Amino acid sequence: MSTYRNPVLNADWSDPDVVRVGDDFYLTASSFGRAPGLPVLHSRNLVDWTLVGHALDRLEPAAVFTAPRHDCGVWAPAIRHHDGRLWIFWGDPDRGIFQVNAPGAEGPWTRPHLVKEGRGLIDPCPLWDEDSGEAYLVHAWARSRSGIKNRLTGHRMRPDGTGLLDEGKVIVDADRVPGWFTLEGPKLYRHDGWYWIFAPAGGVETGWQGAFRSRDFFGPYEERVVLEQKDTDVNGPHQGGWVRTAAGEDWFLHFQQRGAYGRVVHLQPMRWEPGGWPVLGDDGAPVAEHPLPALPLQAPAAPARDDDFPGGRFGPQWSWTANPGEGWTLPHPGDGLRLACVRSADAHDLRKVPHVLTQRFPGDPGTVEVELRLDSEEPGARAGLAVLGDAFSWIGLQRGADGAVHLVHRYAESVAEAERDAAHARPAPDGRVRLRIEAGPYARCRFGYDTGDGFRPSGQVFAATPWRWVGALLGLFALAPAGTGDAGTAAFTRFRISTP
């Protein structure tokens, strides 16, 4: 019998939620302060996923996200299908609950609509109840913004999803449930005459997945732990979503926090016991390997990572660290990405720069390579390949004050306000280089370069680090010191990530 192994998405697809439309499954995840945001993935078998695109072109209000805000923006979305459309609701912890909708995964998606304004409103999930004809919404709270946590609030919602019909009521107060803390991430369902809320508690590193049920949406709810680490190596396991196949099989997708790798996604079998409660995984423990869902065969697939940048355009796997500005990329007829060397007073710290083009750090050991040519005469102009997190390191080319181009390798610790040399600068006489990062176990990265005579290692091993809620990122960038005038460009070609 054919099997799959977890994680099914081995990269930072944080806070996943899933929905079925006919024979197709769609998944979305948190994107925080990156743009475009709200990734939309597609699968026919719940195991092999491709990235279709994004539901959010830019974060709003746009002016707030012109600079990186790595732990803000889009938190914990919920995806649903209703009235012939896909709907995604999410919480911005500083602004409130938003939604977008579209006739299909490819769009066009509506502009973000503010459903409920307020600080600390996170993790919303809607329910259109076919039994009663009512529409509801549940959300959690971020204590950092509201002073409230460990409880879920429920509302009646307008059927068109544009607003709420009441002030809300606390429907689950986990302070009253012995041993429960940091209850969040609710997903709302109707099943077998019950209202169900699947919600994790206990924190992302060591918590568990709970289920709550009530005959009435506003409660009272009874609870049960339905998935926990037990004797497995899957810490957490945390927030996710339930989906039922057309044939009636039940499955649950959730994340596991893995440090610099971010929140990787696992698929758990699910069944309903005679008493009406769900049983996830292997009697409540996460499975490492399991028979494939009884779904149509699908060719092995994964979200795209490699890119030749045809026509100077980048693929959907890439996002900026803030809302993009005009002129950051230069389209052209051939292959290769041309980035403008954007002037910035923060050129010494990639964590503060909005025009870094990023994608998720791979969850498996592998090798990252890209070719770079620096087309700038501006002293101090630079471009390169980076690993970004609370700490960062990059390798690339820089135009010196003497007019020559040098191969440079720099890094900054988490507490540092500016970068330092990770290795001595070396000549790059042709202004070209092949760059490499060998990402080993525990996200330990060995940087390397080839200026024409083969690859050589550079500097010490760098251990990738996450941001507060975000895993490490791979990044491409081109920068110049603050000033005026055109500072030239950098050309990147043949971006590849290979695994053994």
Query: Residue ranges of the domains in the chain?
Result: 3-291, 310-498
pLDDT tier for residue 307 given thresholds of 50, 70 and 90: very high
Amino acid identity, residue 344? S
Q: Are 475 and 350 in contact (CB under 8 A)?
A: yes
Q: What is the pLDDT of residues 109-119, one digit of tens each?
A: 999 999 999 99
Amino acid identity, residue 415? V
Whether the CA torsion 338, 36, 417, 422 is positive or negative: it is negative
pTM for the structure as a whole: 0.97
Peptide bond into 108 cis (omega under 30): yes
Q: How far is it, in rounded angstroms, from Cα 124 to Cα 184?
A: 10
Q: How far is it, in rounded angstroms, from Cα 4 to Cα 294?
A: 12
- H-helix or E-strand spanning residue 143: helix 143-146
Whether the CA torsion 104, 110, 112, 117 is positive or negative: it is negative
Strands (E), 44-133: 50-56, 75-82, 85-92, 96-102, 113-117, 121-128
Q: What is the pLDDT of residues 315-373, one digit of tens each?
A: 999 999 999 999 999 999 989 999 999 999 999 999 999 999 999 999 999 999 999 99
59: left (phi over 0), alpha (psi -120 to 50) or beta: beta
Q: How far is it, in rounded angstroms, from Cα 50 to Cα 40?
A: 9
**Bridge-based pairing state of the strands 392-399 and 319-320:** unpaired
Q: 3-state class of 198 per DSSP?
A: strand
Supply 222's token pair.
Answer: 């009874």
- H-helix or E-strand spanning residue 253: strand 250-257
Average pLDDT, the chain: 96
Q: What is the pLDDT of residues 230-258, one digit of tens each?
A: 999 999 999 999 999 999 999 999 999 99
Supply 106's token pair.
Answer: 């490819």
Homologous superfamily, domain 3-291: Glycosyl hydrolase domain; family 43 (2.115.10.20)
Q: How far is it, in rounded angstroms, from Cα 199 to Cα 201?
A: 7
Q: What is the pLDDT of residues 441-456, one digit of tens each?
A: 999 999 999 999 999 9
Q: What is the set of active-site residues?
A: 15, 184
Main-chain phi, psi angles of 496, to 5 degrees: -135, 140
Q: How far is it, in rounded angstroms, from Cα 432 to Cα 423?
A: 18
Whether the CA torsion 316, 317, 323, 324 is positive or negative: it is negative
pLDDT at 6 over 70: yes
How many CB atoms within 10 Å of residue 276? 12
How is residue 378 annotated by DSSP?
Answer: S
**Bridge-based pairing state of the strands 135-141 and 357-360:** unpaired
What average pLDDT score do residues 117-142 get?
96
**Bridge-based pairing state of the strands 135-141 and 489-498:** unpaired
Residue 1: the pLDDT is: 65
Amino acid identity, residue 364? D
Whether the CA torsion 224, 227, 230, 236 is positive or negative: it is negative
Contacts of 163 (CB under 8 A, 6+ apart): 115, 116, 157
Q: C-alpha 58: how far from its chain's center?
A: 15
Q: Are 446 and 461 in contact (CB under 8 A)?
A: yes
Which residue in this structure is represented by tokens 């544009």? 162
Q: What is the pLDDT of residues 372-407, one digit of tens each?
A: 999 999 999 999 999 999 999 999 999 999 999 999
Residue 458: the pLDDT is: 98
pLDDT at 500 over 90: no
Residue 468: the pLDDT is: 85
- H-helix or E-strand spanning residue 146: helix 143-146
Which residue in this structure is represented by tokens 């009235």? 83
Q: What is the pLDDT of residues 473-485, one digit of tens each?
A: 999 999 999 999 9
- H-helix or E-strand spanning residue 279: strand 278-280
How is residue 145 annotated by DSSP?
Answer: H
Give yes or no on whether 3-291 and 310-498 have one common fold: no
Amino acid identity, residue 195? Y
Q: Sheet holding 50-56: strands in order across?
A: 17-21, 24-28, 37-43, 50-56
Residue 303: the pLDDT is: 96
Residue 429: the pLDDT is: 86
How many CB atoms within 10 Å of residue 361? 27
144: left (phi over 0), alpha (psi -120 to 50) or beta: alpha
Residue 145: the pLDDT is: 93
Q: What is the pLDDT of residues 243-298, one digit of tens each?
A: 999 999 999 999 999 999 999 999 999 999 988 999 999 999 999 999 999 998 89
Q: How far is it, in rounded angstroms, from Cα 408 to Cα 388?
A: 17
In CATH terms, the fold of domain 310-498 is Jelly Rolls (2.60.120)
What average pLDDT score do residues 53-75 get?
95
Supply 340's token pair.
Answer: 């403008």
What average pLDDT score do residues 199-208 get?
96
Closest C-alpha to 477, from 388, 366, 367? 388
